[in-house]
A = this chain, B = another copy of it.
């Protein structure tokens, strides 16, 4: 009865910057429709990314499926979209109109590595203040954006995007609702490039998933080069989480998990004292399953 779309959020981290793969001159995510020739959904996705960007893919996982009725041109031709999250290393070659962008280009309020972005205090908080005319709204705004003494929670990427969407602070809302009057009244919008359709929402979903996942699974495997220093690894995690980590504790954590081993070589281009180079231990694959429990279990 309808078409099925495949949409890819492909992430790499290059020089401490979190990057996503885009097409159409940075205005859309790699995507295409699921076709009879595709063996599986994931195979179809890989083929589209390959065709549009020539970027080799490693790890890929499913994100979310949606079918909002206002997506297609008319309500009968429903489009179902299946989105995926993928991790790779940035390859230099890409297709036409394809490229890599920092994801903070699209969601600039998400980068808290140096400090909370000025955009939050200057633009977002005041706008939310006027929107928040009930206690529930005030609480929601404070929690999602870490206002009024609430701590910043980097995982709430999607909730933040949706709140901005509801309040009309991101332009996607107006594009959709003012199609008949494209030159309607002015709305205050935020910095941050937008994307076609709901691709920016999908990006937010992908980032949220990755930020959550990195806390209980060592998903940085695919993002790192063959060998790396611990600081580089830390910078990769910081790029994803959008906040700084405590160096010594990060190291303790990493080696308590036995994820890496020394290569023996040193990196001498790091400015200060040369750092040991590490690589991931191959055997980790099997052990990855041993995830952490949190329930007060009974022994034996």
Q: A residues within 8 Å of B by Cβ?
A: 1-4, 34-36, 39-41, 62, 64-69, 75-76, 78, 80, 82, 136, 139-140, 143-144, 151, 153-156, 159, 214-216, 237, 241, 243-246, 249-250, 252-253, 286-287, 289-291, 293-298
Contacts and interface: CB of A to CB of B under 8 A. Distances in A.
18 contacts: A1-B3, A4-B67, A36-B75, A36-B76, A36-B78, A40-B68, A139-B286, A140-B286, A143-B289, A154-B293, A237-B295, A243-B297, A244-B297, A244-B298, A245-B297, A246-B296, A246-B298, A253-B296
A34 B291 contact: no
Contact of A241 (B4, B140, B286, B295): B295
Contact of A153 (B3, B291, B294): B291
A3 to B, nearest CB: 7
7 residue pairs, one from A and one from B, having the closest CB atoms: A249-B296, A215-B294, A65-B65, A244-B298, A246-B296, A139-B286, A250-B296
A286 B36 contact: no
B289 A156 contact: yes
Contacts of A80: 4, 34, 41, 80, 82
Given A34-B67, A250-B296, 11 more contacts: A1-B4, A2-B4, A34-B78, A36-B78, A40-B68, A80-B82, A215-B293, A243-B297, A245-B297, A246-B297, A246-B298
A50 B139 CA distance: 34
Most B-side CB within 10 Å, residue of A1, A34, A76, A241: A1
Given A1-B4, A155-B291, A65 B62 contact: yes
